[in-house]
Structure 1
Amino acid sequence: MSQAVIDIHRILKLLPHRYPFLLVDRVIELDPGKTIKALKNVTMNEPFFQGHFPDFPVMPGVLIIEALAQTAALLTFSEEHDPEDVYYFAGIDGARFKRIVLPGDQLIMHATFERGKAGIYKFQVKATVQDELAAEASITCAVRKKSA
């Protein structure tokens, strides 16, 4: 596996997401077309912590899954792609949440490419905190043109 780091500046070029919805801070490992490992530093100033939950802030599971989908998109877009392409979340299977994610945690996200055909891609994804499984799922994503 090659060690390739994609910093926030490149992530901003590859993904359309912006604050507060960009949920990947850095790619720390990449084997193009096969696997990716990225991180999200979870901080207390995340806007979702104001309401989830004020007395015991927990990162919402749906946002963990979204962070994993963004990681999978970076794996898809790590090689050349048309800037008119947009990555859409198309499906999720077998999602399991095993550990809560708290402010101060570093969420490590892994995505492994399974298959792709006609702009539809399938990945196995998992998120860990301190090598402890936080969430896992099988996700399907679709790449379409912005104008479509």
Structure 2
Amino acid sequence: MRTWLLLLLSFSIELSAQIPKLTFEYISNREGLPSNDVCWATEDDKGFLWIGTRRCLARYDGYAFKQFGFTKTHSVVADSNLIYFTEESFQLKVLDINNLSYRPLIGEKDGGGYTVFLDTKGRVWLSDRDGIICYHPKTGKHKKYPLKSTTF
């Protein structure tokens, strides 16, 4: 019994020694964040942190922020060299991080949306008040999946 107790104790000490120490730093508008109201954040392949705030979209390199003029960014997701996001007009837009150019993909008249997700097949999923939209970057086409209306 004593041997098992010593063996168990030695494993628990070894396992606890392998937990990495995490440090967090609070960043606010004093450090250049456009707004303290952060809606979404994601990291791209180059290590930049993209932050959607109530004021605009911002890129953080660990030292400084670069602001982009999109108002009230609701949702942000990174895929390779592209940043997909929605903003105040509920349009789905894409920003190419190599040349910092952007273009709208799905406009408000097409449904627009609030939250953006990227699946493992590279499709962009967008939720809105009426359902879900799937955007296919390879074809540039999208399909809407409406929700059935219910009454409460």
TM-score, normalised by the number of residues in structure 2: 0.31
User: Larger RCO: Structure 1 or Structure 2 (Cα < 8 Å, ≥ 6 residues apart)?
Assistant: 1
Q: Which has the higher helix share?
A: 1
Rg bigger for which structure? 2
TM-score, normalised by the number of residues in structure 1: 0.31
